[in-house]
């Protein structure tokens, strides 16, 4: 059966509002019967995340800035308490680069903002996986999914330092999959085509990117958060029992084209 998450306990990082990819994934998990924990970054979006969390079976909503080791230690402590020391599923759907680094030339990226983008968008997966490891081991195994983008493998104009961060994230998925495989913990990524979310809408030229996908991708249609949620649910579920260290493209086939 598709989407059977009965009795599963999941932690979801990266919900900002109802358009967030993380929220589409959370809804899939909730529909399959999972119990959820959510983190949010900053008081600005706390209410939005609490309101969404209240519509599903939620055990915990707590603040987490993934740059902070202190926040991560507290959050995974709270998750352990909420879920009896166990965790089955981790959804990592977090990325950030300074807006000015997503325009202009990659060449001009200063050191501090290069490191910031990699810290928030890639290292955070490593830190979360390490903190989740004992909880998932106690559960007999687990599944981790993160969100990536083609700009980590090819040069997409203006994606710039985020592309370097996604390349780091993609490699981290493979090394985490190797380390954690012995504990029956799977680690995978979903590579989504452009999806109209909060993080994406503020980007100049986003409608142009959607139009390019609609013109050139084999399926000639743009991607929605719901499409991404369904693919993530597959990787997070028992149907993907022997799938780890890989990337599932939900991009209407765009990545397979050479023109
Ligand atoms: P979104 O804005 O809804 O989600 C991004 C999240 O990152 C937000 O919830 C934000 O609070 C969180 N975040 C940023 N800095 C943080 C920090 N320091 N600590 C904790 N959380 C922090 O946008 P989205 O499009 O749903 O993005 C989710 C993921 O999907 C990102 O990894 C993004 O790169 C990836 N992605 C998006 C697209 C797209 O076109 N929207 C395509 C491919 C991949
Ligand atoms: O990963 C992303 C976007 C992530 C993102 C978005 C923002 C906007 C607001 C990271 N940091 C910020 N910082 C902000 O201040 N995507 C895959 C969507 C995206 O972003 C692009 C894209 C695509 C696609 C930027 C330039 C070119 C293409």
Q: Is residue 228 assigned to a domain? A: yes
Query: How many angstroms separate the alpha carbon of residue 199 from the centre of ligand 2?
Result: 6
The confidence score (pLDDT) of residue 130 equals 99
| Beta carbons within 10 angstroms of residue 207's beta carbon | 13
Question: What DSSP assignment string belongs to 6-53?
Answer: TT-EEEEE---STT-HHHHHHHHHHHTT-EEEEEESSGGGHHHHHHHH
Q: Is residue 257 assigned to a domain? A: no
47 class by beta-carbon count within 10 Å (0-12 exposed, 13-18 middle, 19+ buried): exposed
The confidence score (pLDDT) of residue 2 equals 61
- Tokens 């380390």, residue? 179
CA 232-198-154 angle, to 5 degrees, is 65
| Domain span holding position 207 | 9-249
Contact 232, 190 (CB under 8 A): yes
| DSSP reduced 3-state for 89 | strand
Q: Is the pLDDT of residue 28 over 60?
A: yes
Q: Is residue 4 assigned to a domain? A: no
Active site residue 159: yes
Question: What DSSP assignment string belongs to 123-170?
Answer: IHHHHHHHHHHHHHHHTT-EEEEEEE-GGGTS--TTTHHHHHHHHHHH
Q: Is residue 3 assigned to a domain? A: no
Q: What is the mean pLDDT of residues 180-203?
A: 94
The confidence score (pLDDT) of residue 167 equals 99
Q: Is residue 98 assigned to a domain? A: yes
**Mutation test residue for ligand 1: of 47, 53, 131, 147, the one with most atoms within 8 Å of CB:** 147
Q: What is the mean pLDDT of residues 90-96?
A: 98
| Assessment of whether the complete model's pTM goes beyond 0.85 | yes
Q: Is the pLDDT of residue 1 over 80?
A: no
Q: Is residue 2 assigned to a domain? A: no
**Weakest-pLDDT range from 47-61, 80-94, 189-203, 241-255:** 189-203
Which residues lie with the beta carbon below 6 Å from any ligand 2 atom?
Answer: 95-97, 99, 102, 149, 156, 158-159, 162, 194, 199-200, 202-203, 209
Total structural domains in the chain? 1
- Chain centroid to Cα 230, Å, comes to 13
The reply to whether ligand 1 has any atom less than 6 angstroms from the CB of 62 is no
Q: Is residue 254 assigned to a domain? A: no
Query: How many angstroms separate the alpha carbon of residue 11 from the centre of ligand 2?
Result: 23
CATH number at residue 120: 3.40.50.720
Q: Is the pLDDT of residue 204 over 90?
A: no
Q: Is the pLDDT of residue 201 over 90?
A: no
Instruction: With cut-offs at 50, 70 and 90, classify the pLDDT of residue 122.
Output: very high
Of ligand 2's listed atoms, the one at least distance from the Cα of 166 is 1
Buried-exposed string 56-66: b where 16+ CB fall within 10 A, e elsewhere: bebbbbbbbbb
Q: Is residue 259 assigned to a domain? A: no
Average pLDDT in the chain: 97
Q: What is the mean pLDDT of residues 246-253?
A: 98
Of ligand 2's listed atoms, the one at least distance from the Cα of 97 is 11
Active site residue 234: no
The residues that bridge with 144 in the sheet, in sequence order, are: 90, 187
């Amino acid at each position: 059966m598709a989407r059977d998450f009965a009795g599963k306990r999941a932690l979801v990082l990266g919900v900002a509002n109802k358009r967030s990819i993380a929220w589409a994934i959370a809804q899939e998990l909730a529909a399959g019967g999972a119990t959820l924990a959510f983190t949010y970054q900053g008081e600005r979006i706390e209410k939005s995340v609490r309101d969404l969390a209240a519509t599903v079976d939620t055990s915990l909503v707590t603040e987490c800035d993934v740059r902070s080791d202190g926040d991560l230690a507290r959050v995974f402590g709270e998750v352990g308490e909420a879920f009896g020391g166990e965790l089955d599923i981790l959804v990592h759907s977090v990325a950030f680069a300074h807006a000015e680094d997503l325009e202009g030339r990659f060449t001009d990226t200063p050191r501090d903002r290069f490191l910031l983008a990699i810290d928030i968008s890639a290292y955070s997966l490593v830190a979360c996986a390490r903190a989740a490891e004992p909880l998932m081991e106690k559960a007999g195994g687990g599944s981790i999914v993160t969100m990536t983008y083609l700009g980590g493998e090819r040069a997409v104009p203006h994606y710039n330092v985020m592309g370097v961060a996604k390349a780091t994230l993609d490699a981290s998925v493979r090394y985490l999959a190797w380390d954690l495989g012995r504990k029956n913990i799977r680690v995978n990524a979903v590579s989504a085509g452009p999806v109209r979310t909060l993080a994406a809408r503020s980007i100049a030229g986003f409608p142009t990117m959607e139009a390019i996908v609609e013109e050139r991708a084999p399926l000639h249609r743009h991607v929605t958060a719901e499409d991404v949620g369904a693919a993530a649910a597959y990787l997070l579920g028992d149907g993907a029992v022997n799938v780890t260290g890989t990337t599932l493209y939900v991009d209407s086939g765009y990545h397979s084209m050479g023109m």
